[in-house]
């Protein structure tokens, strides 16, 4: 098998529906879809056999945003205002790869502030529901950025 690798970016991260699409790409220092799998303990039965434990799978969208408190329509305040809400998202790690990850995520507020005389950064982790990897196409992909509000 041939070794393949990719360098992240340029790409996109948008949150919202087609009519209210917000582009967070310029504020995202890093972004990744993180899977988590939990396999429950097997259940032993009298015969000596065992039944496999339940398998549960979950995903988060994790990364780091540059803080922009006070900027009109900024990322920091948008996330604070919409915390706890579920919104569709599109994450394209590398536009040239032609693939996007879509689904719904639960918005959470990010940290505000930090060390003096440094550029503020905040880690984020959003719960993701039903992620799908698909080709970048139509209004849900790169074409949507033409009408997206930039953060």
Is position 125 within any domain? yes
C-alpha–C-alpha distance, residues 123 and 134, integer Å: 26
74, 151 in Cβ contact below 8 A? yes
Peptide bond into 15 cis (omega under 30): no
Helix (H) or strand (E) holding 74: none
| Residue span of the structural domain in which 113 resides | 12-36+66-150
Give the predicted TM-score (pTM) of the model: 0.82
Number of domains in the chain: 1
Q: Specify if 60 maps to a domain.
A: no
pLDDT at 111: 93
Cross-strand pairs, 71: none
Could you tell me how many residues make up the chain?
151
The mean pLDDT value for 47-66 works out to 94
Query: What percentage of the chain carries pLDDT values higher than 70?
Result: 91
Band (pLDDT 50/70/90 cuts) for residue 74 is confident
Does 59 fall in a domain?
A: no
Q: Which pLDDT score, from 0 to 100, does residue 151 have?
A: 46
Torsion sign over Cα 84, 60, 114, 76 = negative
- Asked if residue 121 is part of any domain, the answer here is yes
pLDDT value of position 138: 55
């Amino acid at each position: 098998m041939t070794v393949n690798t990719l360098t992240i970016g340029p790409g996109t991260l948008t949150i919202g529906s087609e009519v209210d699409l917000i582009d967070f790409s310029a504020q995202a220092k890093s972004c990744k879809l993180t899977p988590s799998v939990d396999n429950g303990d097997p259940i032993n039965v009298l015969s000596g056999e065992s039944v496999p434990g339940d398998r549960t799978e979950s995903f988060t969208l994790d990364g780091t945003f540059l803080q922009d408190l006070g900027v009109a329509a900024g990322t920091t305040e948008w996330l604070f205002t919409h915390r706890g809400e579920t919104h569709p998202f599109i994450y394209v790690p590398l536009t040239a790869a032609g693939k996007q990850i879509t689904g719904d995520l639960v918005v959470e507020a990010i940290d505000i502030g930090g060390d003096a005389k440094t550029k503020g950064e905040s880690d984020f982790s959003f719960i993701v529901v039903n992620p799908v990897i698909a080709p970048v196409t139509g209004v849900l992909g790169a074409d949507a950025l033409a009408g997206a509000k930039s953060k």
